[in-house]
Amino acid sequence: MASIAEQAIIVSRFQEYLRINTVQPNPNYMEAVQFIFREAHLIGLQAESIEFVAAKPIVLLKWTGSDESLPAILLNSHIDVVSFEEDNWDRPPLGAEIDGEGKIYAKGTQDMKSVGMQYLEAIRMLKASGFNPLRSVYVLFVPDHEHGGTDGVRMFVQSEKFMSLNIAVVLDKGLPSPTESYRVFNGERVPWFLEIQAVGQAGHDAKLYDNSAMENLTKSIECIMRYRASLVDELKAGFMKEGHVVSVNMVYLNAGTLQPAEQPTQAVAGFAIRLPPFADSDELRRRILKEWAPATRNMSFQLSRADEGIAREKLVTATDDSNPWWGLLQNAVKQAGGVTSGPEIFPASTNSWFFRKAGLPAIGFSPISNTPSLRHDNNEVLSPLQILHFIVVEHPSVLLIMWWIITSQEQFLTPHLTFLQYLSRSEYLKGIDMYVSILMAYTLHA
């Protein structure tokens, strides 16, 4: 445990990293890289910057172990944070202000500048104590995560550089936990993207056709929304964690024009779907074929699946005896005075996906307990006025369908305040202790 004076310095380093503007879509990676290089130099780690895509640097640090023949530990974090609209906040999102209770407010406090800095602080403490690792440790800071990770981790994992590292296990982000116990993740939901198309007869807007494109599409949307409602009920009942339930969300609608008012011959809707790795994907495909886009109703569809051609066992990291890293992490957290729950499936996408796909065990863990998850809270909750503007000014053609959706989704009608993500000083410091314990267990594991 660090002294009061040391704690203040540790927290001020975290604040400094938070204040670097790495907000998408124009993150200042160069400033972040300079900061990480400076810290690596002070701690005494080898550092290099690799660019697979221009101006999107990956920083790789190395703490060399005494037995380099043993596969190494990889600690991953992403440098960028999600975008925000300044006006929505009561505190500056890059201010890293600390309130009277010790809460630090900034984008990245939870997702995931905290984790990146905690890795470094843990290594700094271990080095200062004279600890010598048996296995080497790599610390990876990657760009582009909040843009899908294609120009960051994906490129890195495919590189010869990565092959040469000989990695045994990867740690990446998890989610904050509202309770005492830390959440630990061994898989993530698989993104599917579905576009359904309806066709029908063109004609005057006054005519009551049967089987029009709009009618056909609306039937499908109703059907999908009923299925969605059943998923929401499952979640609300509280028996299932978010990552263990399928999610379906309509993300666009495209049909018709207001002038001239004709019934369109084509109507299209797009849906983002996330599937737990153990979900019955054949059942969902059948649903799409028979109910959501049946050829009998002049419907067709395009489905793209992120898990196309990937073996099921590569989507989930083992938590049994075949994977020693799982048990080592639980024990190490326990020894440092923490508790873990899980294993859980991460509801969205993390960089672990790319590592698991490459055949490595990857564990999602952000040591943040007793904290509500506010990672992407921003303007994702719309006010009624914003919705009205969206429909009337930008998309008059979808007025009716949009109205139907909005009135059927009660949460859209309630305005919300948005809260800036925060992390308390004590949680941050406690998290460093967790990594100290994990790193000792991992690097000494023979």
By annotation, the residues acting in catalysis are 80
Measured from the CB atom, is 88 or 166 closer to Zn ion? 88
d(CA 434, CA 55): 33
Q: Please indicate if the annotation marks 145 as binding a ligand.
A: no
CB of 145: closest distance to Zn ion in angstroms? 7
Is 376 annotated for ligand binding?
Answer: yes
**Nearer Cβ to Zn ion (148/396):** 148
- 41 has binding-site annotation: no
428 and 115 Cβ atoms separated by less than 8 Å? no
Measured from the CB of residue 375, what is the shortest distance to Zn ion in angstroms?
5
Q: Name the region of 266 (left: φ>0; alpha: ψ -120 to 50; beta: rest).
A: beta
Q: Toward Zn ion, which CB reaches closer, 79 or 217?
A: 79
Strand order through the sheet with 103-105: 97-98, 103-105, 422-424
Contacts with Zn ion by CB under 5 A lie at 111
Written as six digits, the tokens of 29 are: 């990676």
Pair type for strands 340-346 and 182-188: parallel
CB nearer to Zn ion: give 281 or 418.
418
Nearer to Zn ion, 113 or 228 (CB): 113
Helix (H, G, I), strand (E, B) or coil at 180: coil
Q: Which residue number has the CB closest to Zn ion?
A: 111
Closest to 375 measured CA to CA, from 346, 352, 353 = 346
For residue 238, how many C-alpha atoms fall within 13 Å in the half-sphere facing its CB? 0
List the beta bridge partners of residue 316.
Answer: 187
Peptide bond into 214 cis (omega under 30): no
Closer residue to Zn ion (CB): 81 or 315: 81
Instruction: Write the DSSP string, 219-246.
Output: HHHHHHHHHHHHHHHHHHHTSS-GGGS-
| Cα–Cα distance, 136 to 142 (Å, whole number) | 19
Could you tell me if 105 and 420 are in contact, meaning their C-beta atoms sit under 8 angstroms apart? Answer: yes
Shortest separation between residue 372's beta carbon and Zn ion, angstroms: 15
Inter-residue contact 439 to 129 (CB < 8 Å): no
CA neighbor of 432 nearest in space, from 52, 117, 36: 117
For residue 338, how far is the Cα from the chain centroid? 24
- Closer Cβ to Zn ion, 152 or 256, answer by number: 152
DSSP state of 290: I
Placement of tokens 């990293």 in the chain: 17
DSSP character string of 92-129: -TTT-EE-TT-EEESTTTTTTHHHHHHHHHHHHHHHHT
Contact (Cβ atoms closer than 8 angstroms) between residue 333 and residue 437: yes
The distance of closest approach from Cβ of residue 79 to Zn ion in the complex, given in angstroms and rounded to an integer, is 12
Cis peptide before 396 (omega within 30 of 0): no
Phi, psi of 315 (to 5 degrees): -90, -15
Binding residues for Zn(2+) are 78, 111, 146, 376
Binding residues are 78, 111, 146, 376
